[in-house]
Structure 1
Amino acid sequence: MRVSPINPTVDFSTEGVQHGFLRLPYSRDDSAWGSIMIPVTSVKNGEGPTALLTGGNHGDEYEGPIALFDLARRLKAEEVAGRVIIVPAMNYPAFLAGTRTSPVDKGNMNRSFPGAPDGTVTQKIADYFQRTLLPLADIVLDFHSGGKTLDFLPFCAAHILPDKAQEAKAFDLVSAFGAPWSMKMLEIDAVGMYDTAAEEMGKVFITTELGGGGTATARSAGIAKAGVANVLKAAGILKGTVNVAETTWLDMPDGNCFSFAEDGGLIEPLYDLGDQVRNGDVVARIYPIGRTGSAPLEVRAKMDGILAARHFPGLVKPGDCVSVLASVVME
Structure 2
Amino acid sequence: MSAPAPLRASPILATVDFDRDGIQHGFLRLPYSRDDSAWGSVVIPITVVRNGTGPTALLTGANHGDEYEGPLALFDLAASLRPEDVTGRVIIVPAMNQPAFAAGTRTSPIDRGNLNRSFPGRPDGTVTEKIADYFQRVLLPMADVVLDFHSGGKTLDFLPFCAAHILPAEGEEVRAQEARAFELVEAFGAPFSVRMLEIDAIGMYDTAAEEMGKVFVTTELGGGGTATARTIRIARDGLRNLLVAAGILKGEVPKAATRWLDMPDSDCFVFAEDGGLVEFCADLGDPVTKGEPVARLWPTGRTGVAPAILPAGRSGILCARHVPGIVKPGDCLAVVGVEVPGAEDMEGPGPREIEEIA
Distance across 2 between alignment mates of 1:100 and 1:213: 12
Q: Residue type matched to 2:299 in 1?
A: P
Cα deviations by residue, 1:93-139 (Å, 9 ceiling, x for unpaired): 11001111111111111111111111110110011001110111111
Q: What secondary structure sits across from 1:125 in the alignment?
A: helix
The answer as to 2:31 corresponding to 1:30 is no
Distance across 2 between alignment mates of 1:113 and 1:243: 35
Q: Aligned runs of 1:298-313 on 2, under 5 Å?
A: 298-313=309-324
Cα deviations by residue, 1:72-108 (Å, 9 ceiling, x for unpaired): 0111111101110000001001100111111111111
Q: Residue type matched to 1:328 in 2?
A: E
Match of residue 232, structure 1, among 240, 243, 263:
243
Q: Residue type matched to 1:10 in 2?
A: V
Q: What secondary structure sits across from 2:310 in the alignment?
A: strand
Q: What secondary structure sits across from 1:309 in the alignment?
A: strand
Cα deviations by residue, 1:290-327 (Å, 9 ceiling, x for unpaired): 11122212212111211110101101101100111111
Q: Using a 3 Å threshold, how does the CA distance of structure 1 residues 245 and 235 change in structure 2: closer, same or farther?
A: same
Unpaired runs of at least 5, structure 2: 1-6, 169-173, 343-358
Distance across 2 between alignment mates of 1:130 and 1:285: 43
Query: Offset of 1:160 from its aligned partner?
Result: 1.2
Cα deviations by residue, 1:272-307 (Å, 9 ceiling, x for unpaired): 111111221211111111111222122121112111
Q: What secondary structure sits across from 1:242 in the alignment?
A: coil
TM-score normalized by the length of structure 2: 0.91
Distance across 2 between alignment mates of 1:88 and 1:141: 11
Q: Aligned runs of 1:39-118 on 2, under 5 Å?
A: 39-118=45-124
Distance across 2 between alignment mates of 1:250 and 1:284: 21
Query: Offset of 1:188 from its aligned partner?
Result: 5.9
The answer as to 2:25 corresponding to 1:19 is yes
Query: Offset of 1:164 from its aligned partner?
Result: 2.2
Distance across 1 between alignment mates of 2:70 and 2:249: 18
The answer as to 2:147 corresponding to 1:141 is yes
Q: Is the Cα contact below 8 Å between 2:167 and 2:197 reproduced in 1?
A: no
Match of residue 336, structure 2, among 305, 325, 331:
325
Specify the alignment match of 1:262 in structure 2. Answer: 273
Distance across 2 between alignment mates of 1:305 and 1:184: 17
TM-score normalized by the length of structure 1: 0.98
The answer as to 2:224 corresponding to 1:213 is yes
Fraction of identical pairs, as percent: 73
Q: Residue type matched to 1:53 in 2?
A: L
RMSD: 1.0
Query: Offset of 1:255 from its aligned partner?
Result: 2.0
Cα deviations by residue, 1:144-180 (Å, 9 ceiling, x for unpaired): 1101000000111111113322211111000000111
Cα deviations by residue, 1:3-48 (Å, 9 ceiling, x for unpaired): 1000000011111111100000000011100011100001111111
Which has the higher mean CA deviation after the structures are superposed, 248-257 or 118-127?
248-257
Q: What secondary structure sits across from 1:132 in the alignment?
A: helix
Specify the alignment match of 1:283 in structure 2. Answer: 294
Specify the alignment match of 2:183 in structure 1. Answer: 172
Distance across 2 between alignment mates of 1:191 and 1:265: 32
Which has the higher mean CA deviation after the structures are superposed, 310-319 or 155-164?
155-164
Distance across 2 between alignment mates of 1:71 and 1:330: 33
Query: Offset of 1:185 from its aligned partner?
Result: 2.4
Distance across 2 between alignment mates of 1:63 and 1:145: 7
The answer as to 2:257 corresponding to 1:246 is yes
Distance across 1 between alignment mates of 2:205 and 2:267: 24
Q: Is the Cα contact below 8 Å between 2:148 and 2:219 reproduced in 1?
A: yes
Q: Residue type matched to 1:275 in 2?
A: D
Match of residue 2, structure 1, among 8, 17, 33:
8
Q: Is the Cα contact below 8 Å between 2:66 and 2:100 reproduced in 1?
A: yes
Distance across 1 between alignment mates of 2:199 and 2:107: 18
Distance across 1 between alignment mates of 2:85 and 2:127: 35
Query: Offset of 1:186 from its aligned partner?
Result: 4.0
Q: Is the Cα contact below 8 Å between 1:186 and 1:252 reproduced in 2?
A: no
Distance across 2 between alignment mates of 1:18 and 1:60: 26
